Amino acid sequence: MRTIPFFLISLAIAGLVFIAAFALDNDYYFFAGYVVLQYIVLSTAWNILGGYCGYVNFGTAAFFALGAYSTVTIYNLIGNNELPHVIPIPVLMLVGGVVSGIVGFGMGYLTLRLRGAFFSIATLALAVVLETLVVNWDFVGGSRGAFIIRPENMPVLGSYVRYLFLMMALLTVCSLTIARLIERSRLGYGFATIRDDELAAEASGVPTLRLKLIATTLSGALMGMAGAPAGFDLRTRLRGQCHCDAADRRHHELGRSADRRRAARFAAADHHSHDLVSGQSSDRRLHLGRLCHYSA
């Protein structure tokens, strides 16, 4: 199957799926489909480096987060209320892809001589380093997490999750087409030589350095594009809301505990002053203090 017919068929299938979900008039199908399509893009991007070249990448979460936090950074720079109307999701996906592609290029350049488990450990170290950076970077939320307010509705489509599903469906079609194009081209055959025997490929004149840089850049860029809309995802909003609810509950419990301690101290002081007059025992005071503590 050639690339252009494959692209058209994939695009037609994505359109039919979108129309079928739109006819059901239930946003849950769009939400579930968005998650499935997101993982299709991530697996396709991983396969470019891990499947075609044979280099196992454990830093998928790092490249995904690069795309997501690129959106968060732009969101904080422009302003909370202006971003959804000024910069559309496709542009944010391109920005996330560029940032993740540059990092993927740098990772490929720095780990040129690492093979097998050593390359995988390096990608895992990249994920740990980026996690440490994000957690300690207050501009993007730090350990509190990032919160993005998205529009409730979109023209024609209705709810915003349908728009996210449509964008992810188009990205899925593009990523599958890119993977198909690589598999049936000289680039894909070069990747196969690296996967089979990199030393023999270098001895045969295959530019392994260039091919590895292309693979890491493409793989990282697609992962970043998949992660760029994550800030507008419904799950992110729910996690943020649960985080706020948990914080409110925690502050409420702390307030109640402080009130109980104050009530217990006042009760103990009152009973102590009463004992000086009436001569009640210390056991009686302890019991009354517990009652005040639990009743509060």
Q: Considering the entire predicted model, what is its pTM?
A: 0.74
Please give the share of the chain, as a percent, with pLDDT higher than 90: 23
Distance CA 63, CA 163 (A): 23
Cβ neighbours of residue 291 under 8 Å, at least 6 residues apart? none
Residue 270, both tokens? 């009152």
**Class of residue 204 by CB neighbours under 10 A (exposed 0-12, middle 13-18, buried 19+):** exposed
220 has pLDDT over 80: yes
User: Where residue 172 falls among pLDDT bands split at 50, 70, 90?
Assistant: very high
Distance CA 122, CA 126 (A): 6
At residue 145's C-alpha, the angle toward residues 141 and 151, to 5°, is 90
User: Where residue 177 falls among pLDDT bands split at 50, 70, 90?
Assistant: very high
Distance CA 45, CA 216 (A): 9
> Tokens 């409110």 — which residue?
248
Exposure on the CB side of residue 51, measured as CA atoms within 13 A = 13
pLDDT on residue 242? 38
Which of 92-96, 102-106, 233-237 shows the lowest per-residue confidence on average (mean pLDDT)?
A: 233-237
Residue 107, both tokens? 């990772």
| 3-state DSSP of the chain | CCHHHHHHHHHHHHHHHHHHHHHHCCHHHHHHHHHHHHHHHHHHHHHHHHHHCCCCCCCHHHHHHHHHHHHHHHHHHHCCCCHHHHCCHHHHHHHHHHHHHHHHHHHHHHCCCCCCHHHHHHHHHHHHHHHHHHHCCHHHCHHHCCCCCCCCEECCCEEHHHHHHHHHHHHHHHHHHHHHHHHCCHHHHHHHHHHHCHHHHHHCCCCHHHHHHHHHHHHHHHHHHHHHHHHHCHHHHHHHHHHHHHHHHHHHHHHHHHHHHHHHHHHHHHHHHHHHHHCCCHHHHHHHHHHHHHHC
Distance CA 206, CA 194 (A): 9
Contact 136, 142 (CB under 8 A): yes
pLDDT on residue 114? 80
At residue 92's C-alpha, the angle toward residues 87 and 94, to 5°, is 130
Which of 66-70, 83-87, 171-175, 285-289 shows the lowest per-residue confidence on average (mean pLDDT)?
A: 285-289
Cβ neighbours of residue 112 under 8 Å, at least 6 residues apart? 209, 212
Which of 72-86, 177-191, 247-261 shows the lowest per-residue confidence on average (mean pLDDT)?
A: 247-261
User: Where residue 287 falls among pLDDT bands split at 50, 70, 90?
Assistant: very low
Higher pLDDT residue, 152 or 55?
Answer: 55
User: Where residue 4 falls among pLDDT bands split at 50, 70, 90?
Assistant: confident
What are the Cα distances from residue 64, in Å, to 16, 39, 93?
28, 11, 11
- The single-letter code of the amino acid at 139 is F
Averaged confidence pLDDT in the chain = 77
